[in-house]
Amino acid sequence: MSTKNEVGIISYGAYLPQLSIKTETIALANNSTNLGICLGVDSKTVPDADEDTATFSVQAAFQAISRTKDSVKKNIQALFVGSESHPYLVKPTGTIVSAALGLGQRLAMADLQFACKAGTQALQICLAYVKSGLAEYALAIGADTAQSCPGDALEYTAGAGGAAFIVGTKDPLVTLLATTSVATDTPDFWRRPQQNYPQHAGRFSGNPAYFYHTSLATRRLLDQTGLSPGDFNYCLFHTPNFKFPASFAKEMGFTKKQMKYSLLVKKIGNLYAGSTLVGLVNILDHAKNGDKILMVSYGSGSGSDAFVWQCSSDFAQKKKLYQNLLSQQINKNLISYSQYQHLVKI
């Protein structure tokens, strides 16, 4: 799928919980090696007792809406929420979000689940709805309260948080230049019904899962657009940890400077469906007029969505309301392992 500079991001928002835990604290409690440090993660966000995917979605979307005109909210006609931790198995998160935000009843809606790429899939669908004329504006959300079994490697990286993007055609902050997707049946990560925690295939999650699909989507989009790594100001690859995206970027010829704002995982952990979208928010918080951004998500099971974005020529002027949107939320409100255990078991 490619576009003719017709559709893009009108506004955006993000939300991170105020609680965090150090990976060192987790290692000490489990009397084990700090796998977080091995994977490049120092700490991760933790949801409080009254926080879940729905509350994250509402907070992030409220930020995005508050930075637009009233006419935008009135004409949001599609809402898609991507997550692997929806509060209900049978009951949409989207209806909760819509009611909390006061959106209208003319609303195409669905909850999505494709592991860590459900958020970017929501964004693709919203872009398609707007581009096709089925909706004037659309709201895409990716959020998760990531679960992990105590003592498992995932416990060191699974964080919580999310981001929201309003998509439209009228004077966007950021324009979509191209997007593509790939998918195969590669079961590196799963959770069966009645199971409290997901399971994963260990090192199999690297190859042929993360690296294969991220590479396939990235190369396909570069071929499709005729662009090369040097044409981008910033790049962003899904961050299950620090090690994977940093290694892949280097292999593809991207520089540390291009990755400067996309490795928040070190401080907040892997936000699953919120991971790539929160990374994009951080890049947009620092981007300049005309900057090009490559964004590639990854979802276990497995698949990737890839996007090329370009900031508007007056991006800096439009973006004044967004200064330090995300960096203000990254905090040092650290909790103990016993507090952490209590919260994740609620």
Q: What is the pLDDT of residues 215-229, one digit of tens each?
A: 999 999 999 999 999
Q: Which two tokens stand for residue 214?
A: 């991220």
Band of the pLDDT at 346, cuts 50, 70, 90? low
Tell me what pLDDT residue 319 has: 83
Beta strands 292-296 and 234-237, pairing class: parallel
Domains of the chain from N-terminus onward: 8-171+323-345 (3.40.47.10), 174-322 (3.40.47.10)
What mean pLDDT is reported for the chain?
92
Q: How many helical (H) and strand (E) elements, i.e. helices and strands, does the chain have?
A: 12, 13
pLDDT per residue as tens digits for the range 267-324: 999 999 999 999 999 999 999 999 999 999 999 999 999 999 999 999 999 888 776 6
pLDDT per residue as tens digits for the range 62-107: 999 999 989 999 999 999 999 999 999 899 999 999 999 999 999 9
Tell me what pLDDT residue 325 has: 67
Which residues neighbour 206 within 8 Å (Cβ) at sequence distance 6 or greater? Answer: 244
Tell me what pLDDT residue 1 has: 44
Tell me what pLDDT residue 329 has: 76
Q: Report the predicted TM-score, pTM, of the whole model to 2 decimal places.
A: 0.94
DSSP bridge partners of 229: none
Q: Tokens 């974005």 label which residue?
A: 309
Percentage of residues of the chain with pLDDT beyond 70: 95
pLDDT per residue as tens digits for the range 178-192: 999 999 999 887 677
- Cα-flanking dihedrals φ and ψ of residue 2, to 5°? -130, 160
Closest of 279, 266, 268 to residue 330, by C-alpha: 268
CA pair distance 265, 260, nearest whole angstrom:
12
Tell me what pLDDT residue 3 has: 45
Beta strands 292-296 and 303-311, pairing class: antiparallel
Hey, which residues are catalytic here?
A: 84, 116, 238
Q: Is the pLDDT of residue 4 over 60?
A: no
Tell me what pLDDT residue 269 has: 96
